[in-house]
Each structure stands twice: as structure tokens, then as C-alpha cells.
Amino acid sequence: MSRKQLLAQKRQEFIEERGIICMNNVSMNYPEAGAPAIDDITLRIDPGEFVFIVGDSGSGKSTMIRLLLRELLPTSGDVCVMGYNTRKLRHSQIPAFRRNIGVVFQDFRLLKDRNVYENVAFAQRIIEVPSREMRRNVPSILAMVGLAGKYRSNVKKLSGGEQQRVALARALVNKPEILLADEPTGNLDPNNAWEIMDLLEEINEQGTTVVVVTHNPEIVNAMKKRVVTMKRGLIVNDEEEGTYVNED
């Protein structure tokens, strides 16, 4: 067995034992901020799960996403994603690490000067996928999110729902192990929100672990998934087929 295969096997064992995402007594204090944004959280998510993270604004949901992306390092505790301890990743390893995580944001974050195709192809160019494969992969993922006919459109001219689908296609085209979505429906009307959610569910059914931060009680309550509720940096509730109790 080669060293690479051995490492892959060890990683697989680690994931089975500790989860694809694990946070152990994680705290995050932003410099010059008063209270911690994340306060001694412990959380485990297994491969193939679909998890909602809900909670008031300012409760630390986005901070959790940023910790999982290794955009931030926790002040204390360890964050493990796909068997990697984010604290132990060298700066040069971060890009390869992120290529296995797809991410979508409320504000889409598309390259606004490029068309739909280029925004999705961009993710493939980064991992140097051969052109021929890229020309196969990009249209097929665009078809999956329902944008087959619009691959030449300028993203600025698309509706919010369409833009989010482009972002989703970009996040998925490299077949990530995990999909993180930070309020993906926050800027969308209910119809579009539901379409995005249906796509997320479909992706999850194909085996990708999906973590969705959301503010939308109707969707959370209707979908009957695991719900992790946060409040002031703490996890106050975590239940299978949970509901979103909006306290506002």
C-alpha cells in the first residue's frame, strides 16, 4: 500500500470514528470583541448528514462556517473537517483542503464580470481539470441546477434565484465531500428559496454532507432534518427532525 493510500485509509477511519465535521470545545474570540462569538462548542456531523444551523443573528453561525472553511482558526479547541485538523493545515495546504468543500453565501459571491459558464468553469480551472472534461462537467452541473439554457448569460442580469443556482453549481462542480451554505435563501423569495432547498436535498441524497445556516422557519420545520440551534455562541438545542423556534 502506498503512503498516499495509507493516509487516505487513516483519514477514512478518523471520519468514521469522529465524524466528517467535529468541533471539540471550540471557542472563538474575535480580537477586540467583548463576548466570544463561539463559546466552548462541541459538535459532530457524520458523512451524508443534512444539518440546519439556526439561531438569532449574531449567535455565531457564520463564524462557525468560517471556522469550518479554515478562514479562521479557533481561539481554543480543535476543528476537524474531513479528517483534517484545521489548526495543523499549512498555508500551502489550505487551497487543496477547500477544494473538497463547496460553499454558498447569502450574497452569492459570483465573479460579476464573467458569464454563467465561466463562473462555474473557474472552479475547474483552479484544479486544472483537462478542458475536455471541463466542457462535459460544467454543462451537466448547470443542467442539474436548471440553468442549462443560460450558460452564456452575464450573471449580473440573472435573478437572485438564478444567481444562487450559479453559485451552487460552482460549489458542486468539483464534487465536494461537504457543502456549506450560509443563509443561501436569505435574499430569495419563497419560491426560489424552495427550489434551492430542493437542490440541496437532492445533492445530499447523492451523498454529499450538507450544512445549511438559515433564518427561515417554514423551510426548517417542513423539511424535518437535524436542527442545531445556536444562541450567543452556544449550542442550545440539537435534535433530529427538529424544528426552528423563532423567539423574536
* Contacts with ligand ADP, residue ranges (CB under 6 A): 30, 33, 37, 55, 57-63
Residue type, 128: E
Which contacts (CB < 8 Å, 24+ apart) does range 2-11 have?
A: 10/83, 11/82, 11/83, 11/84
CA angle 69, 214, 162 (to 5 degrees): 85
Q: Which does 185 bind (CB under 5 to 8 A by kind): Mg ion, other proteins, ligand ADP, none?
A: none
The footprint of Mg ion on this chain (CB under 5 A) covers a number of residues equal to 1
123 binds other proteins (CB under 8 A): yes
Interface region with Mg ion, contact rule CB under 5 A, candidates 43-51, 55-63, 189-197, 216-224: 55-63
Q: Does 97 bind other proteins (CB under 8 A)?
A: yes
59/185 Cα distance (integer angstroms): 18
Query: Which residue in 36, 43, 62, 180 binds Mg ion (CB under 5 A)?
Result: 62
**Residue-wise DSSP of 40-78:** EEEEEE-TT-EEEEEE-TTSSHHHHHHHHTTSS--SEEE
Give the distance from CA 161 to its chain's centroid.
17
Within 8 A by CB and 6+ apart from 166, the residues are 108, 110, 116, 119, 120, 145, 147, 155, 158
For the bound state, the minimum distance from the C-beta of residue 67 to ligand ADP, rounded and expressed in Å, comes to: 9
Nearest in space to 34 (alpha carbons), one of 235, 232, 243, 246 = 232
For residue 82, which phi and psi values (nearest 5 degrees)?
55, 35
Query: Which one, 114 or 234, has the nearer CB to ligand ADP?
Result: 234
Contact of residue 60 among other proteins, Mg ion, ligand ADP, none (CB under 5-8 Å per partner type): ligand ADP
Among the listed ranges 38-46, 78-86, 91-99, 146-154, the one in contact with other proteins (CB under 8 A) is 91-99
Binding positions for other proteins, 57-86, rule CB under 8 A:
69, 71
Count of residues touching other proteins (by CB under 8 A): 25
124 is a contact residue toward Mg ion (CB under 5 A):
no
Q: Which is nearer to other proteins, 170 or 215 (CB)?
A: 170
111 binds other proteins (CB under 8 A): yes
Helix (H) or strand (E) holding 138: helix 131-144
Stretch in the footprint of other proteins (CB under 8 A) among 51-59, 94-102, 183-191, 210-218: 94-102
Max CA distance (Å), the chain: 56
* CB distance 155 to 163 below 8 Å: yes
By CB under 8 A, residue 98 contacts other proteins:
yes
State the residues that interact with Mg ion by CB under 5 A. 62
State the residues that interact with other proteins by CB under 8 A. 69, 71, 91-92, 95-99, 101, 103, 109-111, 113, 122-123, 125-128, 130-131, 170, 174
